[in-house]
């Protein structure tokens, strides 16, 4: 087990990349701490899988270095890296039994039979397949096969890291929750570095201590689920995390006040002068609907059970608010923002308030 460092890493699938857009991964420096449980979150096609494949050595980066601890492994083959990876779709060795599938990585490392038997037993119990260990893997259902893939990923105790590439896509929802819980427990027990790729924010937020959000080949923010929620570093994070995502409104900033189409809103903190497109971001959870504040036009109200989502518009820009259960929508609805919860963005990147 070791810390994984990505240094000046970038990757393009083209032989001679010219512009920024040719890169699937833009240049980045990133450190995955030893024993961390990370979720790598982002929309499809943002480079998550590429990054994972670079760490496991299936893809060689076109620029930069990959370090395990202090060892440079950029040119090391996957087999030399001793790393586990679980893919999105199940990969099992058809002709082998479930038991042999689970034992395969250990046998390849030349472990002794008693240890293999014990370890396979533990993993089988974890994925709930003890009674079908002697069955051939071929005839099993897709989610059983994926459980085998997961088991194979976790069977080695001495791996440098375990990488999960959207591993629960084919698993049914009930089992999903259970497996995720087991992964977390496994992490607590053995302290493997785990990187979990997903585009599902619930999955990311429940699994990881640290969530890394990627957008268009870039890591835009790494933080705890709380940080991502309260202070998104990039408008994409604000939009991608939360349901519905953060509201973004064009504004002019003057000290501790924002001017929205002539209306002043208190920010709760002072900001320096901004350049470029300036927006303020506020979570729907921190927007109160009452008869005071900014006038809005309500387009739609969605009842999601625990609360209602008010889909409104302010000066032509969409604005969502959460209406707690039991509250009624006023006849002339207006909204107010919780002052300390407003973030300011210039050209999509968050600006810290002065003195912070």
Partner 1 sequence: MDKTLNNKAWFLVLPVLVLVAFSAILPLMTVVNYAFNDTFGQNEFFWAGIDWFEEMVTSDRLHEALGRQILFSVIILAIEVPLGIFIALNMPKKGFWASFCLVLMALPLLIPFNVVGTIWQIFGRVDIGLLGHTLAAMGIDYNYTNDPIDAWITVIVMDVWHWTSLVALLCYAGLQSIPQAYYQAAKIDQATRWSVFRYIELPKMKGVLLIAVLLRFMDSFMIYTEPFVVTGGGPGNSTTFLSIDLAKMATGQFDLGPAAAFSIMYFLVILLISWVFYTVMTNLDREENR
- Angle at CA of residue 60, ends 56 and 64, nearest 5°: 100
Q: According to CB under 8 A, which one of 63, 74, 78, 182 is a site residue for partner 1?
A: 78
Those residues whose C-beta lies under 8 Å from the C-beta of residue 1, and which sit 6 or more positions away, are 34, 35, 158, 159, 160, 161, 191, 192, 193
Least spacing, CB of residue 136 vs partner 1, in Å: 6
Residues within window 184-213 making contact with partner 1, judged by CB under 8 A: none
Cα–Cα nearest to 152, from 111, 188, 210, 106: 106
Residue 104 engages partner 1 in binding (rule: CB under 8 A): yes
In the list 82, 209, 256, 317, the residue contacting partner 1 (rule: CB under 8 A) is 82
CA 123 to chain centre: 26
Shortest Cβ distance from residue 94 to partner 1 (Å)?
A: 5
Contact positions with partner 1 (CB under 8 A) in 35-54: 53
| Cβ-based neighbours of 57, under 8 Å, separated by 6 or more | 66, 73, 76, 77, 78, 80, 81, 83
Task: Determine the interface stretch with partner 1 among 85-93, 224-232, 282-290, 312-320 (rule: CB under 8 A).
Answer: 85-93
Under the binding rule (CB under 8 A), the answer on residue 264 touching partner 1 is: no
Distance, in Å, from the CA atom of 264 to the CA atom of 105, rounded to the nearest integer, reads: 63
Give the separation between CA 39 and CA 195, rounded to whole angstroms.
Answer: 6
State the minimum distance, in angstroms, from the CB of residue 139 to partner 1.
5
Q: Under rule CB under 8 A, how many of the chain's residues touch partner 1?
A: 28
In three-state form (DSSP H/G/I as H, E/B as E, the rest C), the secondary structure along 321-353 is EEEECCCCCCCCCEEEECHHHCEEEECCEEECC
**Distance of closest approach, residue 88 Cβ to partner 1, in angstroms:** 8
136 binds partner 1, rule: CB under 8 A: yes
Dist. CA 232–CA 212, nearest whole Å: 12
Smaller CB separation from partner 1, 75 or 94: 94
For position 74 contacting partner 1 by CB under 8 A, the verdict is: no
**Which of 1, 58, 170, 301 is the binder for partner 1 (CB under 8 A)?**
58
Query: Which residues sit at the interface with partner 1, rule CB under 8 A?
Result: 53, 56-58, 77-79, 82-85, 87, 89, 91, 93-96, 104-105, 108-109, 136, 138-139, 149, 152-153
């Amino acid at each position: 087990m070791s810390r994984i460092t990505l240094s000046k890493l970038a990757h393009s699938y083209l032989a001679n990349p010219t512009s920024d857009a040719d890169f699937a991964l833009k240049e980045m420096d990133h450190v995955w701490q030893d024993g961390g449980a990370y979720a790598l979150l982002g929309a499809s096609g943002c480079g998550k899988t590429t990054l994972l494949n670079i760490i496991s050595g299936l893809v060689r980066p076109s620029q930069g270095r990959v370090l395990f601890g202090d060892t440079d492994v950029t040119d090391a083959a996957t087999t030399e890296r001793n790393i586990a990876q679980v893919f999105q779709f199940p990969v099992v060795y058809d002709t082998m039994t479930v038991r042999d599938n689970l034992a395969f990585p250990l046998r390849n490392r030349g472990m002794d039979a008693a240890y293999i038997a014990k370890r396979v037993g533990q993993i089988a119990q974890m994925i709930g397949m003890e009674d079908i260990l002697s069955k051939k893997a071929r005839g099993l259902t897709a989610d059983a096969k994926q459980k085998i893939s997961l088991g194979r990923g976790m069977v080695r105790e001495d791996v440098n890291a375990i990488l999960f590439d959207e591993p629960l896509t084919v698993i049914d929802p009930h089992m999903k929750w259970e497996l995720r819980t087991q992964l977390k427990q496994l992490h607590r027990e053995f302290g493997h570095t785990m990187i979990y790729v997903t585009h599902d924010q619930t999955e990311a937020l429940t699994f990881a201590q640290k969530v890394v959000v990627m957008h268009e080949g870039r890591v835009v923010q790494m933080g705890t689920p709380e940080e991502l929620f309260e202070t998104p570093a990039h408008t994409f994070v604000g939009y991608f995390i939360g349901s519905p995502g953060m509201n973004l409104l064009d504004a002019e900033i003057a000290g501790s006040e924002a001017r929205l189409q002539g209306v002043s809103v208190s920010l709760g903190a002072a900001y320096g002068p901004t350049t470029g497109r300036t927006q303020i971001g506020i979570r729907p959870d921190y927007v109160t609907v009452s008869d005071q504040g900014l006038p809005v036009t309500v387009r739609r109200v969605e009842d999601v059970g625990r609360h209602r989502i008010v889909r409104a518009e302010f000066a032509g820009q969409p604005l969502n608010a959460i209406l707690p259960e039991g509250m009624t929508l006023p006849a002339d609805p207006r909204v107010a923002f919780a002052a300390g919860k407003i973030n300011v963005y210039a050209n999509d990147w968050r600006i810290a308030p002065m003195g912070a």
